[in-house]
Amino acid sequence: MGLFSSYTQKSSEKTAAATAYLPAMNAEDESGKKNRPTRSRREAEAARMAALHPKLTKRESKERERQASAKRSAQRLAEYEQAPERVLMRNYVDSRWTLTEFMLPIMIVMLAASLLGSAFPTLVLGVTIALYVMAVGAVINVFFAWRGFKDELQNRYPGTSTKGLLSSMLSRMMALRRLRNPGPVISRREVY
């Protein structure tokens, strides 16, 4: 019946956790008996702690710290970007056409045209005037967009602070639609 016979555990039944941190602990000879003395409690605890807290080189510890810092930073940024006022600002900008989003490509064309200044001096004068007109138009565009956004923000979320939103709005308005981060979730002229 085997009710009072001694229990022997087969090596296939051992858990992976026990073999993970001490491979020498499970050394057995052909008869199934261990070929070393039982470890002391201090040795067993030291082996478990070594598995939990491995000794890393300076390079490995710096790499782990860098990865942990990048993960924390990305998590904080994601939480910051999910604030309702920031989502409203992004949708407000993404739902309309703005002059400032075309400012960068137009400035690149103007810069290329100004390089032809030695051959066409009047072209440089026209490019300079156009640059100033575009800068004034962009300032006016941002001014009216900011006023409209503040009104919308106070209608939807009364008493919400606008701290930091103007610079975010300006950078989002200046970026091309495809290059905005986070990407637009609504199309132009869509109700948000």
Range of the domain at 54: 40-82
* Residue 165 to residue 172: CA distance in whole angstroms: 10
Residue 20 lies in a domain: no
pLDDT value at position 182?
87
pLDDT value at position 17?
44
pLDDT value at position 13?
45
pTM: 0.62
pLDDT value at position 93?
94
Q: Which long-range contacts (CB under 8 A, 24 or more apart) does 117-122 make?
A: none
Q: What is the mean pLDDT of each run of 10 residues along the chain (192 residues)?
A: 57 46 56 82 91 87 94 92 93 93 90 82 88 94 96 93 93 92 89 82
Whether 110 and 58 share a structural domain:
no
pLDDT value at position 149?
96
Q: What is the 3-state secondary structure (H, E, C) of the chain?
A: CCCCCCCCCCHHHCCHHHHHHCHHHHCECCCCCECCCCCCHHHHHHHHHHHHCCCCCHHHHHHHHHHHHHHHHHHHHHHHHCCHHHHHHHHHHHCCCCCHHHHHHHHHHHHHHHHHHHCCHHHHHHHHHHHHHHHHHHHHHHHHHHHHHHHHHHHHCCCCCCCCHHHHHHHHHHCCHHHCCCCCCCCCCCCC
Written as one letter, the residue type at 128 is T
Boundary-marking domain end, from 82, 115, 145? 82
Whether 56 and 74 share a structural domain:
yes
Q: Nearest-CA neighbor of 143 among 102, 100, 106?
A: 100
Q: Which long-range contacts (CB under 8 A, 24 or more apart) does 7-15 make?
A: 8/32
Whether 95 and 169 share a structural domain:
yes
Half-sphere exposure in the Cβ direction for 131 (13 Å, CA): 15
> How many domains in the chain?
2
Residue 108 lies in a domain: yes
pLDDT value at position 144?
96
* Residue 73 to residue 76: CA distance in whole angstroms: 5
